[in-house]
Every structure is written in C-alpha cells, then in structure tokens.
Structure 1
Amino acid sequence: MARKRQSSSQTTLPTLCIIFSLFFNASALHVDDDFQLLLSFKASINDPLHFLSDWTPANTNFCNWHGITCNNNNDSSRVISVELSGKNISGKISSPIFRLPGIESIDLSSNQLTGGIPTDMFSAASNSLRYLNLSNNNLTGPVPTGSVFSLETLDLSNNMLSGKIPRDIGEFSGLKFLDLGGNVLSGEIPNSVSNISGLVYFTLASNQLVGKIPRELCLMKSLKWIYLGYNNFSGEIPTDIGELTSLQHLDLVYNKLTGQIPPSIGGLTELRYFFLYQNRLTGPVPQAVFGLKKLVSLDFSDNYLSGEIPEAVSQLRQLEILHLFSNNFTGKIPTGLASLPRLQVLQLWSNNFSGEIPRDLGRRNNLTILDLSTNRLVGEIPGGLCDSGRLFKLILFSNSLQGGVPMSLSQCKSLRRVRLQNNGLSGELSADFTELPLVYFLDISGNNFSGEIGDRRWNMPSLQMLNLARNRFSGPLSEDFGSEKLENLVASENRFSGDIPRSFGKFLRLMQLDLSSNELSGEIPEELSSCERLVSLDLSHNQLTGEIPVSLARMPVLGELDLSDNELSGEIPRNLGRVESLVQVNVSHNHLHGSLPSTGAFLAINASAVAGNSLCDGDTPSGLPPCKKGLIRNAVRLTWWLVLITCLLVALVVVVVLVVFVRRRKGVLELKRVENEDGIWELQFFDQSKLAKSVTITDILLSAREGNPIIDSKLVVKKMSDNVNSISPSVWSDVEEFGKIRHRNVIKLIGMCRSQKGGYLVYEYCEGKLLSEVLRSLSWERRRKIAIGIAKALRFLHCCCSLSVVVGRLSPEEIVVDEKDEPRLSLRAPGMMCSESKGFTSSAYVAPGKPH
C-alpha cells in the first residue's frame, strides 16, 4: 500500500506540472494573439498624427498602448476596448481588430477610413463585443450581414454605405442602439427589424429609403427615439404608432407621407420632440396632440394641414418651440399661447390666420423668436412681446397691422432682426428705436411711417441692412445711420430732400444703395466712388443736377447703375464703358449730350435706357441718331483700321510660316499610321514630351483591349464613341483645340488615336482621388484651397484660354484632388463615352462657347 501510495504521489507531481505548464502556455498564447492582431491591424492603416507610435513589436506591453484598455486580470490580460475616435486615421479596416477574443468595445469613429467594411466582420467578431462605432468615416459598400448576439450598440452613420438594409437585421436581437443614418441606403425597412425587441434608439435618417413605414415598428415597445427623416417614405403614418408608449422623440421629416395625423398619437404620453415637417400631410391637427403634456418641441411646418388651432394648446406647459408655418391653418391665433411659460420660439408664418395678435403674448412667455408674417392679421402690435428681455427676432411683415411701433419694442435692446414691412403701420419712429445696439437687419418698408429722420441721433453700430422704402419720410437723409457696417441701404419712394450726404462714402461695405423716387437735389457726390463693394446704385427719379462723376468708373464691382429721370447734364464719361462689371445702365430722361461710349454695357444698350436726352450714336446700335461729322471721322478711322489690319495679316503670315517650318523640322505634328485588321489607325499627339513620342498605336490598342486604361502610370486612354463615323468632322477639329488647353488645374489632353472602327483620346495620368471621395474629410482651409483652384480653372476655360469653352454638369465626380490638395478638372470632348478609372474621370462635358 505504501509503495502504491508512493507511486501515486510520483505520478501526481508531473501531472500537475503539465497542467500548470499548459495553463501558462495557454495564457501566453492568448497574450500573443492579442499582440499580433493589434500589430496586424496597425499595418493596414495610416497614422499621420503618430497616435499609434507606441504600437511596436518592441513594446510588448500592449495594455499600455494608446487607445487600448485591458481587463484587470494580471494572469491573463486581454484587450477589452480599442478607442481610436478622431485620430485622423485613414486606410481600410481589416478583420484582425474584430478577432480580439475578449474585445467588448471598438470605436473607430470620426476618422478617414475608406473602402468596404469586412464582410466577415460579424462572423469573426468575438461574442463579447457589445459596442461598435464606425461612424463619420468614408466607408462604402453594403452593410455586412450576420450578427453578434452580444452587440448592444451599432453605429455606422455618416458614411457612404449603399445597397439595402440586410433582411436579417433582426438577428441583432440584443441591440439597444442602431444608427445607419447619413448613408445612401435604398430599399425598404425590413420587417425583421421588429425582432430587435429591446431597441431603444433607432435612426435611418438621411438615406434614400422608400416604401411605407412598417407597422411592425409599432411592436418595438422599448423604443424611445425614432429618426426616419430625410428619406422618401410614402403612405400614411401607421395608426398603431400610439402603442409606443415609451417614445420620447419622433422624427419623420422630409419624406412624402400623406393622409392625416392619426388620433392614436395621443398614446405617446412620454413624447417630448415631435417633428413631421416637410411632408404632404392633410387635415386638422388631432385634438389628442394637445394632450401630450411633456412636449418640448412641436414642428408640423411645410405640410397641407388645415383647420384651427384650439385653445387646448394652453395645456402644453412644457412647450418651448412651436412651428406650424407653411400650412393652411385658419381662424385666430389662440390666446392660450400667451400663457405658456416656457414658450421661446413661435413661428406661424405663411398661413391664413386672421384677427389680432393675442394682446398678452410675450408677457408670461420666454420669447426669443416670433414670426407671424404672411397672414391676415389686423390690429396693433402688442406691447409685451419683449417682456422677457430676450426677443431677438421679430418678423411680422405682410399683414394688415396698424398703429405705431410700441415704446416697449423701441427699448428692446435684445432685438437683432426686425421685419415689419408691408403693413399699415404709421407714426414717427421714436428716438429709442434708432438706437437699438444689436439690430443688424431692419426693414420697415411699405408702411405709412412719416416725419424727419435726418436730424435725429442714430446709434445702431450693428446695422447692416436698412430698408425705409415706400413710406412718407421727409427732410434730409441721415449722415451715417449710426453704423459703418451698412451693406444695403434702401430709402426709395419717400419724400427725402436735400443733397445726398458726402459721408455716404465711408460705407465701405455698401453693396446696394437705392435712393430713387425722392426729391433729392444737388450733384452726385464724388465720395460715392469710395464704396468699392457697391454693386447696385439707383438714384433715379430725383432732381439731381451736374455731370455724371467720372469717378464712378473706379468702382470695381458696379453692376447696375440707374440715373434716369433727373436733371443731369454734360456727356457720359467715356471710361464708364470700360467698367467690366457693369451690365445694366439707365441714363434716360436727363439733359445729357454727346455720343454714347462704344464699349462695355453701352454696346447693346436698350433704346429706352438712353431716351429723353440729346445723345447721339457713335458706334453702337442704340437707335439714336448718328453723331454729326461722324461719317468723316468714321472714314478716317476706317482707313487707319485697314492699314493696321493689313500689317497684322502680313505679320501673321510670317509667323505661321515660321511655326509650320519649325514644327515640321521637329516632327511634332507628324501623324503616325499603322494598318491592322481594324483598318488604318492614325495617332496624333498635341504634346512635345518624350513620353508622347515613345508611345505607339500598338500601346494604346493593347491597353484598350486589356481593359487597363493606364500606360506607364503616366497616360490614360479614354474611348470615344463606338461609331466614329457618327462623329462629325468638326468634332475632331474641336479635339485638336482641346489639346491646346494648358492649365495647372485642368488635366491635359495629350493626343488622339482613330480609325474607321474606333477612336481613343490620350490624357495625362493624374494620381489622386475624386473630390466626392474626400469631401467629407476636408477641413475648411483645404476646401478653400480646392475651391480656389476650381474657380481658377473655370475662369481660364470661360474667359482666358485661346478656345473659350463652357463647362456644364460639373460635380465632385468630375474633379480629381492630388496629394497636394490641388484640384484637376477632367474635360470630355463631344462624342466621348462616360467612363472612370483610378485617379481620373471624364464625365464632364466641355463644348466650344463664346467668352463671357
């Protein structure tokens, strides 16, 4: 027995050693697995900010790597979290990151990851994975199929995922948060989504989904947030939606929903945010809506809703925002709105509301924005609208309001935007009203305001837009209106008199000045030429005298000039015709004489714009009588022109002969010809580079047959129409002209290759990405650089190159952005097929045009 016992003890010790050895080796193997998987993931991505600089083979303690969290088990540390959000990481996502055995959370959001999501992502993922966030990247392709039962959060929003939502989406039965919004998904919502019974947050917003909102959605009793806006859903809102008694946020905006809002909506007793705007809903708002006492924001705007708003709206004591604008509501604005203590924003514009504005509106509210414009309201403006001291936007235009501006509003220092135009308001503006410090937009046009405003104190330092038109103001204009920020000043159709203040020249930001239809006199001040941003100047229908200032021609962006119906005399300044920006001029019914300028806007001026003067026609088809002695002057001028043209023609012939001689010597324009089974092929290059000379017709045809449009990583072959005979001869001459276009922001056309059975164009190869692929990830500074490059290219094509062209249908799909953020436009000649290849696209159509 003792021997047997000894034998037993002898075998037990080695067995334990083997067990411990296996255990520790297994732990080491697990650690090695995590280590290698993380290094493999790093190898597949780019890390320009070097955030992963400590992810190296030499640093084996991966639990201390940036973005990595391990569990607290020192004997067997496992990665449980990878947090790499917003680290500017690019490249494609590889599978190793999902194979970490103990992983619970992966966050790669807000980076620049591209390509498709690995198809085996969910099948390879650990059963411990609970949180996955790949949002705000540039991922493409379909949503992967499969499921991870442990997954609670799946966020793939704001990418470029396409295709349909997987039909087996319901297999993610453990999800509580699902966000697929901000992609280009199509098709309908699968009915299987109802299998995710514990889902709390559900958004498919900003996709291209169609069909009806499935009734199965109403079976998901745990839902608190539904975002389905900005799609193409149609049909009616499900009548069973009231069964989602936990719902707090319902957003179905920007769809094509029809029918009425179902009364069952009253069952959503926890609802706080209710958005249905921009649909095609009809009928009245159900009474049940006004029983949703937890509502904070209600927006039913831009529909076809009708009927009256009941006084029951006063039950919404938590309401802060109410948007019902752009509908067909009638009746009075309910006085119950005035009793809502938290109401901040009330927008009821563009309806058929009538009657008066509730007198107590604003007194017990917390109003910041009030817009009741474009209705049929009458009566006076209530005095308590600004009692909260926070009202900054007051919009009441296009009603039938009367009376003056209440003193309380004249003292409302929080106001910033005020639009009271097109009413019947009257009286004088109070002194306080012209000293509101934050008002930047003030429009009181189309009323019956009167009195003088020039001698009062104006202290409105923020004022940018002021419209006083169509009132009864009189006396002189104010010298400065208390602001040097003015961009638009309209004071037309009043009774202003006296001179135009010379101080207006200090309005350096002014873009529009309209003082027409008043009783202004004196000369046009030279100081107006200091307004270098002025685009539109209208001084018509006054009593202005003197000559047109020559200095107006120094205004670099002046586009419209109306000086008609005044007492102006003298000649029209010749240099006014040299203002390139000037497109519309009216100087009719003055006392002007002499000839019209023969340049710029005067070349094709309408006869009515110069009528009522003593003007004559020099060289323009204006309908005016010819100027005296014009025939003699024209004959002398014609003689000089003939001599000059003759000299130029002789010089041009000499230059052409020299160019042809030199080019023939160099062999640049020599055609290459090859005969094969397709007939005779001709190759013509427009570029003198060595590469162009070294490429043969065989290279081009072989590249086309193999489906590889890129030759030596320097040239790209693009196919013309399959039937070359269908292309008119003028197209080939156009192609030759396109071959002359050279600009740093335009991809060069190098040459053309054609026969009776086919045709190809040869372009330079541009390494880069389409603007549509990188647009989401661009900073504002990079966007600015790219936009400037595109503008330079378009300006060159439209105005500056020898062949003026018109670029149409330009989009981010036609612009390549290289590694230096330099945009390159792709030009497609007439008759060319639309096709794409890596780093280059040629679907932008370019046609010969006239210079703008």
Structure 2
Amino acid sequence: MAKKGFIRRYLNLSSNNLTGLIPTANLPALETLDLSNNLLTGEIPENIGLFSGLKVLDFGGNVLSGRIPNSVTNMTNLEFLTLASNQFSGEIPRILGIMKSLKWIYLGYNNFTGKIPEEIGELTYLNHLDLVYNNLTGEIPSSIGNLTNLKYLFLYFNKLNGPIPKAVFNLKNLVSLDLSDNSLSGEIPELFSQLQNLEILHLFSNNFSGKIPAALSSLPHLQVLQLWSNRLSGEIPKDLGKYNNLTVLDLSTNNLSGKIPENLCSSGCLFKLILFSNSLEGEIPKSLSFCKSLQRIRVQENKLSGELPSEFTTLPMVYFLDISSNNLSGRIDLTKWNMPQLQMLNLAKNSFSGPLPDSFGSNNLENLDLSANKFSGSIPRSFGDFSQLMGLKLGENQLSGPIPDQLSLCKKLVTLDLSHNQLIGEIPASFASMPVLGQLDLSVNELTGNVPSNLGEVESLVQVNISHNHFYGSLPSTGAFLAINSSAVLGNNLCGGEKISGLQQCDYGVKNRVRWFVLTFLLASLMMFAIIVFIAIFIKQRKLGRELKRVESEDGTWELQFLNSRILRSITIKDIVSSIREDNLVASGRSGLSYKGKSTISNKLFLAKEVAAISKSCWMEWTELCKINHSNVVKLLAMCRSEKAGILVYEYIEGKNLSEIVQGISWERRLKVAFGIARALKYLHCHCSPCVMVGEITPRKIMVDEKNEAHLRLSLPGINLCSDNKCFNSSAYVAPETRGSKAFTEKSDIYGFGLLLIELLTGKSPVDPEHGAHNGIIEWARYCYSDCHLEMWVDSTIKNNQGLMIDCQNQIVETMNLALQCTAGDPAARPCAVELVKTLESIVRSSSCVSSSGFKLFGVSM
C-alpha cells in the first residue's frame, strides 16, 4: 500500500504481452504512461484526456486501431507522443497543433491517410517528427519550416508528391532528413547549404530531376548521402566529399554524366561507393586508389575509360568490386594485386587485354568474372589455388592453350564459363572430381578429343555446353548428358543416344563386331558370350537409373523418378509407399505429412513427404530441384506420383525441426542457423542456373542436425495448390509483393529470410494470431529497433531468451538491423544473398560474443 501523501507519477507496463483493451482511469497526476510492446487491441479510449498531467504517452508496438481521439488535446503538458507500429487509420488530427509542449511525435508504421496537417507547424518545440510507413498523400506542408528545433524529420515510405518546400531549409538544427520512397519531384534545391548540421540525407526512390546541388558539398557533417533511383542528370558536384565527412554515397540508377570527382574520399571514411547505371565517363580517379576505408565499390554500367590506377588494386578493405560494363582498357597482369578481403571481382564487358594475372591477392575470392574482354595467353594454373571460388567466368576473350588440370582443385566451383575463346586440347578428366560443379560452358573453342565418360557421373552437373569445338566419339549417356539439348553439342563430330534430337546415333554395331573378331582370338566362345551378356545387363541397369518408372500397386499406377542410379539401387518403390503409415509419421504441415522410411536393401534412411497430386508442370520443376547439391540444402532424391497423391523423397537429416527448438537454443546456435540458411540462399540465387527461389523460408522447413548445421528443405511454392497452369502461395512468410499468384523473386526470398531472423531474435512468429501476420511483427520489430526503445528491447531480449549473453548485445542489434533491411517494403532496398553472408560473417567477427574457436563453426564458406 502506498504511503499517505504518495502520488504515483510513472506507470510502465511495457513488454509484458498484455492483451485486451486499454483501461480507462482518472489519474491526473500521472506523468508517464508506457504500455508499449504489448498485444493491446481496440481503440484509444475517448476519455484518454483524463490523464491531463501526462508528459509521456507511449502506446507503440500494439495492435490498436481506429482514430486518435480529440481528447488527447487535454494533455497540454504532453511532450512525447508515440503511437507507432499499430493499425491506426484516418487522418492525423489537426488539433494536435494546440499541444504546444510536444517534442516528439512518432506515428510511423500505421495506416494514416490524407495530408500532413498544416497545424503540425505550430509545435515549435518539436525535436523529432516521424510519420514513416503510412499512406499520407499531398505535398509536404510549408508550415514544417516553423519547427526550428527539429533535428529528425522522417517521412519516408508514404505517397507524398510535389517538390521539397523551401521552408524546410529553415530547419537549421536538422541532423537527419529522410524523404525517400515517395513520389516527390522537381529539383533538389541549392538551399541545402543552409542545413549545416545535416548528417544523413535520404532522397532515394523519388522522381527528382535536374542536377545534384553543389550546395551538398558544403555540409561539413554530411556522412550518408543516398539519392539513387531518381531522374537526376548532369555532373556530380566536383567538390562533393571535399568538405564533407562521407561514409556512404549512393547515386546509382540516375542519368548522371561527367567524371567521378577526385574528392569523394577526402574524409578518409568512405566505405561504400555506389554509382552504377549512369553515364559517367573518364578515368577512375587516382584519389580513390588511396581511399583505404573503401569496402564496397559498384561503378558498373557507365562509360568509364582508361586503365586501372596501379594503387587501386591494393585497397586493403575492399570485398566487393564491380567495374563491369564500361570502356576500361589496358593490362591488369602488370599491376600488383593485393586485395586481401576481396570476395567478388567483376571486370566483365570492358576492353582489358594481355595475359591474366596469376593472383588477385586474396584467399577469399568467391566470384571472378573477367568475361567479354580481350585477354590473351593461357589460363594460369595458379587459378586452382582459389579454394573458395564458386563462380569463374572467362568467356568471350582470346585465351589459348589447354585448360589447366589445376582448375579441378577448386572444390567449391559451381559455375565455370570458358566459352568463346581459342582453347585447345581435351577436357581435363579431373573435372569429374569437382563435387559441386553445376554449370560448365566450353562452347566455341578449339577443343578436341573425347568427352570424358566420367563427366556424366558428376551428380551436381545440370547444364553443359560443348558446342562448336572438335570433339568426336560418343557422348556420356548419364547425368547432364542424358537429355542434353542438341544446340549444346552442335559443331562437333559427336554421336549420342536417340533422345538427343539432331545428333546422329552411335553405330555401336560395327564396334561390337570388330571387338568380337579380335576377342575370338583371345577367349573361348563361351567366355565371350558371358562378357557380352554382362555388358548388356550393366548398360541396361545404368539406363534404367535415370528413366521414369511406372509401378502398379493397390493404390493404382505410380510414376517413380530417380535422377541418381545409386539411389535407384538402394531404395525401391515398395520402400517408399510402405513408409506412408502412421507409426512412421515424423512431421505434419500445411503442405503434407512427412514419414521416416528405411530401405530394405541398404538400410538407408529417407524422408517421404506426402503431398497433393503433382501436376505435369510442377513435376518438371521438381525434377530440376533434384539436381541441387549443397550442404545447407536437404537433398531431394526422388519423386513419385499417382492420380490421387504424390510423394517426395528427401535425404533423412538426423536432428530437430527449427520450429521445435527455436525457443530454447543458444544465441550462438541461432546465429549459426541464420548463417547456414544465408549460405543456402547464396547458392540457390547465385550459383544455380536458372536461380532457384525458395518461396517460403519457415522454421518448419529447416532441420538442425547434431552439429548445429541448418538444412533448408526446398519445395515448390504452394505445392497443394498446384495446377497445370501455375503454382502460387499466400503464406504469412512470403513478401507482400508476391501475395496471390505473383511469381517469387530473389528479393521475396530475402524478405522471408528477414522474417526468420526476427523469429530467431525474438521467438515471435509471424503466424502467431496475436501479431496480425507478418506486417504486425515487422512493425513491432521496427518499433523496438527505434532509437527510443532499442536499449530496452535488447535488455528484454537478453533476459527473455535462453543462452543470450550481455556481451552479445552488439550482435543482436546488428542482426536486427539486417532483418529490417531484409523486410523493407521496397524490394530494391533489400540486400542480396551475397550481402547476407558477408554481413553475418562481419557480425560474428566484429564481436567478442563468440570466441575465435566458436567462430570456426560459422567460417565455412559455401
């Protein structure tokens, strides 16, 4: 019981999973009312004004709806009003203008409509105005210029139009201005020179035109400038960066011309330079060669010319360098390459010439694209030392000499393109030992000899092109050669099976007669007969391993498809069908039931997933998924179907479903799961041809094995909704732009990964009813991540989740930041899969949360 005369001034019930309506009360002395981060529903009570003494009102992060009641204006002392991340609708009340004490308004992530009221300009004490992620329309009111104490103005992701009003430049104290993702137009005014305290300026994804104002160069504190995806033209201001403190500059996807200014890195802090898809010309400035802070450089699709500056190839922090599709020239073998962090290098579609360098000074190189240049000489044997390489493209050059055997040492190589060169000799037989090789293009060269028969035994190989060479003899009759398109073998003297249209059949009869004639001198006729019979049986069995089988059973006719003859010999149709019984049930889900099966021949375990009847179109798509081979993707071994049902046969992973353990695993294990799925996405998006979309990335589709490795089970989107025309999905785990029948994209997969990260961080699922599907959980997460609630959220996350240590707080914050980037409403603003892996690696390396020995768990590259 409170002591006599004691007055309660503060009531904080945040982050308690409270449900129901906001209670009514009459507490005129209360100064702080914080009910944020709960599950409250309904509307704000009409008599909320009874809290007349309030200074802080925070209802953010709930499921409240309706309009803001007029009675809030009775709280004349209110300084902080936070209603963000709810479902409020209607217009922002004009009468807020009479609440003169307000310093903070946060109404983001709601459904407010209409215009921003002019009366906002009467709140002269306002420091922070945040109206993001609503449906506000009209122009930005000029009355905002009266808010001379304003430091943060966030209006992004609305439907605002018109120009930036001149009155905005009265806001001399403005530190951060974000008007991105609207329909604003007109020129960017030179009046920006008046905002001398500005640090962050985001105007991207609008319709701005004209030149980039030179006035931006005069802002001494400017760190982040993002103007991408507009219609800006003219030159980049020559003094940009000279007097700024630039760390991030993104001017991509505009119509800019002229040269790249020399001063962009004068601050010595620039780490991201993004200028692609413009019409920039001239040489790469030598000053960038001394910008040791640079990490990511993307200047592709311009008109840059000249040679690479010598010091440019020794930048110590660069991990991503893309200067493709320009007019650059010169030799790169005479330049010292020492870029120890380099993972991705793209010099394609330029005019570089001369021999290839032996090294690029990095042990981390994953993607190397030097195609469509004028490189000559041989392929260096030292390329076999690129142990992390997953993609190597050297096509459309003038390379000669044999293909070095050493390339087969690149055990992680998925894509190899050596087409349109002058290479000679044979295909190295050692290529058959490359475990994940998926695409091989050797077309339009001077290669000779037979195609190695064991190349058809590379299970991961799905696409081969050897056309227009001088190969002779028979094609392998297995693997990727089984149903190869005739265009991929034209221009040779090859023969093959009857299934390959346009290619003559091999005349095995003549060879057999010659062989029989020779062998009759060496062996008795009985032994010869036995050998012939044995060979015939062996060839027939090999052929059966890849053919479609039809088997009669009590349930009717089953079609069975294996793409691996070894699997055919170890699992029978009887094993698969008989596994579908209740005592073998291990999982059930929206798309079907899963059963644990066991081969009667080899005791091999497998997972049989029962699904709805598979249409012909979806059947072909499943066949493509059988070719995928990655350590973080559950292998699809075979498919069966009848008129009434289908069965998918996966490898059996000994472990637990992520949905069963996500609440109880340590932070280290959660981060490892995220890293594994990111690696899987990187493989599926970047190293499969065509790239593979996951559709849904849910915890139920992720198995975590005994070594804490995550394995993503692929399935076609909406398998039990498949028809002969399309397969579609409307799950809570898919991106908003792909709801209904729209096709999935790489960016929609990234969105799903962001939802998975939020669930790993918080334990909250987008399918839980209290969160109102995925929009609710994302808005809640963004609210928690806002400046005013970040510290509180991290503390509660550490307390409420088993295994989270206080030393992990930096990792938690950075991971949540990545999750919010992934779930951005604009697909173009989401990172790609390569960036996911890079960011997660950086998160682990930069924190003391996980020991160096622990990091080895994450450090396995794809």
Q: Deviations 1:5-37 (Å, cap 9, x if unpaired)?
A: xxxxxxxxxxxxxxxxxxxxxxxxxxxxxxxxx
Question: Which residue in the other structure is 2:61 paired with?
Answer: 182
Decide whether the 8 Å contact of 2:55 with 2:80 is kept in 1. Answer: yes
Amino acid at match of 1:781: R
Indicate how the Cα distance of structure 1 residues 624 and 294 shifts in structure 2: closer, same or farther if over 3 A, else same.
same
> For residues 796 and 230 of structure 1, do their structure 2 counterparts lie closer, same or farther at Cα, with a shift above 3 Å needed?
closer
Q: Which moved more, 1:485-494 or 1:397-406?
A: 397-406
Structure 2 match to 1:250: 129
Q: In 2, distance between residues paired with 1:171 and 1:770? A: 46
How far 1:199 moved relative to its partner? 2.0
Equivalent position to 1:280, from 159, 164, 187:
159
**Equivalent residue pairs, number:** 601
Q: Is 1:526 paired with 2:437?
A: no
User: Which of 248, 255, 274 is equivalent to 1:395?
Assistant: 274
Matches within 5 A, 1:56-455: 101=2, 128=8, 130-135=10-15, 137-146=16-25, 148-455=27-334
Residues 596 and 620 of structure 1 are in contact (CA less than 8 Å); yes or no, is this contact kept in structure 2?
A: no
CA drift at 1:127: 5.7
8 Å contact kept, 1:686–1:736: no
User: In the alignment, what sits opposite 1:93?
Assistant: none
- Residue matched to 1:80: none
Shift of 1:737: 8.3
Q: Confirm or deny: 8 A CA contact 1:602 1:620 kept in the other structure.
A: no
In 1, the alpha carbon distance for the partners of 2:4 and 2:241 equals 55
Distance 1:427 1:822, change over 3 A: closer
What's the % identity of the aligned pairs?
58
3-state SS, counterpart of residue 387 of structure 2:
coil
The CA distance in 2 between the partners of 1:770 and 1:165, in whole Å, is 37
Aligned to 1:509, what secondary structure does the other structure show?
A: coil
Write the distance in 1 (CA, Å) between the matches of 2:200 and 2:360: 35
Tell whether 2:491 aligns with 1:612: yes
- How far is 1:406 from its partner? 2.0
1:550 aligns with 2:550: no
**Matched residue type, 1:433:** F
Alpha-carbon distance in structure 2 between the residues aligned to 1:359 and 1:227: 38
TM-score w.r.t. length of structure 2: 0.62
- The offset of 1:158, in angstroms, is 3.3
Q: Is the 8 A contact 1:138 1:776 kept in 2?
A: no
Distance verdict in 2 for CA 1:778–1:270, change over 3 Å: farther
Deviation at 1:182, TM superposition (A): 2.8
1:157/1:179 contact within 8 Å kept = yes
1:582 aligns with 2:461: yes
Tell me, which stretches of 5 or more residues in structure 2 are unaligned?
A: 514-531, 545-550, 556-579, 585-639, 678-698, 705-709, 735-754, 757-761, 768-862
Q: CA deviation at 1:584?
A: 2.2
How far 1:798 moved relative to its partner? 6.9
Q: Is the 8 A contact 1:103 1:129 kept in 2?
A: no
- Which residue of structure 1 lines up, in the alignment, with residue 372 of structure 2? 493
Could you tell me whether the CA contact under 8 Å between 2:48 and 2:72 is conserved in 1?
yes
How many Å separate the matches in 1 of 2:647 and 2:4?
61
Relative contact order, CA 8 A, sep 6+: which one is greater?
2
Partner residue of 2:669? Answer: 781
In structure 1, what is the equivalent of residue 702 of structure 2?
791
Paired residues of 2:323 and 2:346 also in contact (CA < 8 A)? yes
SS at match of 1:233: strand
Q: Distance in 2 between matches of 1:345 and 1:796?
A: 36
Q: Provide, for residues 710-765 of structure 1, a one-character-per-residue CA deviation record: whole Å limited to 9, x for no partner.
A: xxxxxxxxxxxxxxxxxxxx999979989x99998899xxxxxxxxxxxxxxxxxx
Q: Which amino acid aligns with 1:349?
A: W
Bigger drift between 350-359 and 551-560 goes to 551-560
Q: Is the Cα–Cα contact under 8 Å of residues 297 and 319 in structure 1 kept in the other structure?
A: yes
Structure 1 residue 304: Cα displacement? 1.1
Deviation at 1:215, TM superposition (A): 1.7
Within the candidate set 532, 535, 538, 2:417 is matched to 538
Check the 8 A contact 1:360/1:382 in 2, yes or no. Answer: yes
Structure 1 residues 363 and 795 mapped into 2: Cα distance closer, same or farther (>3 Å)?
Answer: closer
Task: Look up the SS of the partner of 2:181 in the other structure.
Answer: coil
CA distance in 1, matches of 2:192, 2:541: 86
Normalization by structure 1: what TM-score?
Answer: 0.63
Q: For residues 258-295 of structure 1, give each alpha carbon's deviation from its aligned partner in whole angstroms, at most 9, with x where no partner exists.
A: 11111111111111111111111111110101111111
C-alpha separation between the residues in 2 aligned to 1:593 and 1:645?
A: 22
Distance in 2 (alpha carbons) for counterparts of 1:507 and 1:342? 42
- RMSD of the TM alignment (CA)? 4.4
- How far apart in 1 are the matches of 2:329 and 2:197? 42
Distance apart, 1:775 and its partner CA: 6.6
Alignment of 1:655-694 (within 5 A): 686-687=581-582
1:19 aligns with none
Whole-Å Cα distance in 1 between the matches of residues 641 and 475 of structure 2?
41
Task: Summarize the Cα distance change of 1:378–1:605 in structure 2 as closer, same or farther, 3 Å threshold.
Answer: same
| Cα distance per residue 1:672-705 (max 9 Å; x no partner) | xxxxxxxxxxxxx95569xxxxxxxxxxxxxxxx
Question: Does 1:458 pair with 2:364?
Answer: no
Matched letter for residue 669 of structure 2? E
Deviation of 1:249 (Å): 0.9
| Mean CA deviation greater in 378-387 or 204-213 | 204-213
Judging changes above 3 Å, is the alpha-carbon distance between structure 1 residues 798 and 273 closer, same or farther for their aligned structure 2 residues?
Answer: closer
| Residue 385 of structure 2 corresponds to residue 506 of structure 1 | yes
Mapped to 2, the partners of 1:153 and 1:480 lie a distance apart of 63
Q: Deviations over 1:238-261 (max 9, x none)?
A: 121111111111111122211111
Quote the Cα distance in structure 2 between the aligned partners of 1:524 and 1:170.
Answer: 80
Paired residues of 1:523 and 1:545 also in contact (CA < 8 A): yes
**Deviates most, 516-525 or 218-227:** 218-227
AA partner of residue 507 (structure 1): F
Mapped to 1, the partners of 2:277 and 2:302 lie a distance apart of 6
Cα distance per residue 1:405-440 (max 9 Å; x no partner): 222222121222112212222111121111111111
Output the CA distance in 2 between the equivalents of 1:160 and 1:193. Answer: 21
Residue 217 of structure 2 contacts residue 242 of structure 2 at CA under 8 Å; is this kept in 1?
yes
Cα separation, 1, equivalents of 2:642 and 2:437: 41
201 and 558 in structure 1: CA distance in 2 versus 1, 3 angstrom threshold: farther
1:245–1:269 Cα contact (<8 Å) kept: yes
For 1:822 and 1:431, how far apart are their aligned partners in 2? 50
How far has the Cα of 1:179 moved from its partner? 2.5
Post-superposition Cα deviations, 1:765-802, rounded to whole Å, max 9, x if no partner, equal: xxx9989xx77998452575698874349989879xxx
138-147 or 230-239: bigger deviation: 138-147
CA deviation map 1:107-147 (0-9, x unaligned): xxxxxxxxxxxxxxxxxxx9625131422x54444444445
Give the whole-Å Cα distance in 1 for the aligned partners of 2:458 and 2:720: 21
CA distance in 2, matches of 1:151, 1:450: 71
How far did 1:532 drift?
Answer: 2.4
* Matching residue's letter, 2:58: D
Does residue 603 in structure 1 map to residue 468 in structure 2? Answer: no
Shift of the alpha carbon at 1:551?
Answer: 2.5
Change (3 A) 1:582 1:791: farther
Residue 204 of structure 1 and its aligned partner are, at CA, apart by: 2.3
User: 1:616, 1:625 within 8 Å by CA — same for their partners in 2?
Assistant: yes
CA shift for structure 1 position 633: 8.2
Equivalent residue letter for 1:316: L
Superposed CA deviations along residues 380-418 of structure 1, whole A, max 9, x for unmatched, are 222122221212222222222222122222212122211
Structure 1 pair 139/485, CA: closer, same or farther in 2 (3 Å)? farther
